[in-house]
Amino acid sequence: MGTPHGVLGTWVVILLLHWCGLGEASHQVFTELQSVSPAVVDTKLRTGYHFQPPKHWINDPNGPLYYKGIYHLFYQYNPKGAVWGNIVWAHSISKDLINWIPLEPAIYPTKPFDINGCWSGSATILQDGTPIILYTGIDPKEHQVQNIAFPKNLSDPYLQEWVKPDYNPIIAPTVRLNASAFRDPTTAWLGLDKHWRVLVGSKWNKRGKAILYRSRDFKNWTMVKHPFHSAVNTGMWECPDFYPVAEKGKIGLDTSMHGRGMKHVLKVSLDLTRFEYYTIGTYDHTTDRYLPDATAMDNSSGLRYDYGNFYASKTFYDPEKKRRILWGWANESDSVDADKAKGWAGIQAIPRTIWLDPSGRQLLQWPIEELRTLRGKQVHIRDKIVKSGDYFEVKGIQTAQADVKVEFDVSSLNLEKVEPFDYAFSNDAQALCKIKGADVKGRVGPFGLWVLASSNMQEKTAVFFRIFKAGEKHVVLMCQDTTRSSLSPDLYKPTFAGFVDLDIKKTGKISLRSLIDHSVVESFGEKGKTCITSRVYPSLAIGSDAHLFVFNNGEENIRVSKLKSWEMKRPSMNEA
User: Is the model's pLDDT at 448 over the cut of 70?
Assistant: yes
pLDDT at 297: 86
pLDDT at 3: 28
| Single-letter residue type at 481 | D
Q: How many CB atoms lie within 10 A of CB 79?
A: 16
pLDDT in tens, 550-560: 999 999 999 99
- As a whole number, mean pLDDT of residues 6-13 equals 34
Q: What average pLDDT is seen over the chain?
A: 92
Q: Pick the more confident residue, 41 or 318.
A: 318
pLDDT in tens, 262-274: 999 999 999 888 8
- As a whole number, mean pLDDT of residues 507-529 equals 98
pLDDT at 276: 95
User: Is the model's pLDDT at 177 over the cut of 70?
Assistant: yes
Q: Torsions phi, psi of 434, nearest 5?
A: -65, -35
Q: For residue 309, with 0-12 CB atoms within 10 Å meaning exposed, 13-18 middle and 19 or more buried, which class applies?
A: buried
Contact in structure between 554 and 419 (CB atoms under 8 Å): no
User: Is the model's pLDDT at 7 over the cut of 50?
Assistant: no
- As a whole number, mean pLDDT of residues 133-139 equals 98
> According to DSSP H, which parts of 5-73 are helical?
10-16
Q: Categorise residue 457: left if φ over 0, alpha if ψ from -120 to 50, beta otherwise.
A: left
pLDDT in tens, 418-442: 999 999 999 999 999 999 999 999 9
Domain boundaries defined on the chain: 10-36+57-367, 372-568
Closest C-alpha to 58, from 120, 4, 9, 140: 120
Nearest 5°: the CA angle 333, 523, 82 is 25
Q: Residue 26: pLDDT band by 50, 70, 90 thresholds?
A: very low
Strand pairing partners for 467?
Answer: 476
User: Is the model's pLDDT at 9 over the cut of 60?
Assistant: no
pLDDT at 536: 96
> According to DSSP H, which parts of 420-538 are helical?
429-435, 504-507
Q: Residue 466: pLDDT band by 50, 70, 90 thresholds?
A: very high
Strand pairing partners for 470?
Answer: 473
Domain 372-568: which CATH number of 1.10.645.10, 3.30.565.10, 2.60.120.560, 2.130.10.10: 2.60.120.560
Closest C-alpha to 418, from 510, 556, 557, 530: 556
E-assigned strand segments in 216-360:
222-223, 229-231, 237-246, 262-270, 275-284, 289-292, 311-318, 323-330, 344-345, 347-348, 352-356
User: Is the model's pLDDT at 35 over the cut of 60?
Assistant: no
pLDDT at 364: 98
Q: Pick the more confident residue, 147 or 334.
A: 147
Q: Residue 70: pLDDT band by 50, 70, 90 thresholds?
A: very high
Q: Torsions phi, psi of 32, nearest 5?
A: -70, -15
User: Is the model's pLDDT at 2 over the cut of 70?
Assistant: no
pLDDT in tens, 477-517: 999 999 999 998 888 999 999 999 999 999 999 999 999 99
pTM value?
Answer: 0.93
pLDDT in tens, 187-234: 999 999 999 999 999 999 899 999 999 999 999 999 999 889 999 999
- Which range, of 169-173, 226-230, 324-328, averages the lowest pLDDT? 226-230
Q: How many CB atoms lie within 10 A of CB 395?
A: 11
pLDDT in tens, 252-299: 999 999 999 999 999 999 988 889 999 999 999 999 999 999 887 888
- What's the CATH code, domain 10-36+57-367? 2.115.10.20
- As a whole number, mean pLDDT of residues 149-170 equals 98
% pLDDT > 90, the chain: 86
Closest C-alpha to 59, from 304, 274, 224: 274
**Same fold across 10-36+57-367 and 372-568:** no
pLDDT at 246: 98
pLDDT at 16: 33
Q: Residue 109: pLDDT band by 50, 70, 90 thresholds?
A: very high
pLDDT at 18: 35
pLDDT at 40: 63
Distance CA 244, CA 290 (A): 12
Closest C-alpha to 311, from 527, 8, 17, 88: 17
User: Is the model's pLDDT at 522 over the cut of 80?
Assistant: yes
Q: What is the 3-state secondary structure (H, E, C) of 325-364?
A: EEEEEECCCCCHHHHHHHCEECEECCCEEEEECCCCCCEE
pLDDT at 437: 95
Q: For residue 387, with 0-12 CB atoms within 10 Å meaning exposed, 13-18 middle and 19 or more buried, which class applies?
A: exposed
The residues carrying an active-site annotation are: 60
- Which range, of 54-58, 204-208, 321-325, 459-463, averages the lowest pLDDT? 204-208
pLDDT at 4: 29
Q: 3-class SS at 165?
A: coil
Closest C-alpha to 351, from 8, 50, 41: 50
pLDDT in tens, 381-418: 999 999 999 999 999 999 999 999 999 999 999 999 99
pLDDT at 41: 74
Q: Residue 12: pLDDT band by 50, 70, 90 thresholds?
A: very low
DSSP assignment, residue 109?
Answer: S
Q: Residue 335: pLDDT band by 50, 70, 90 thresholds?
A: confident
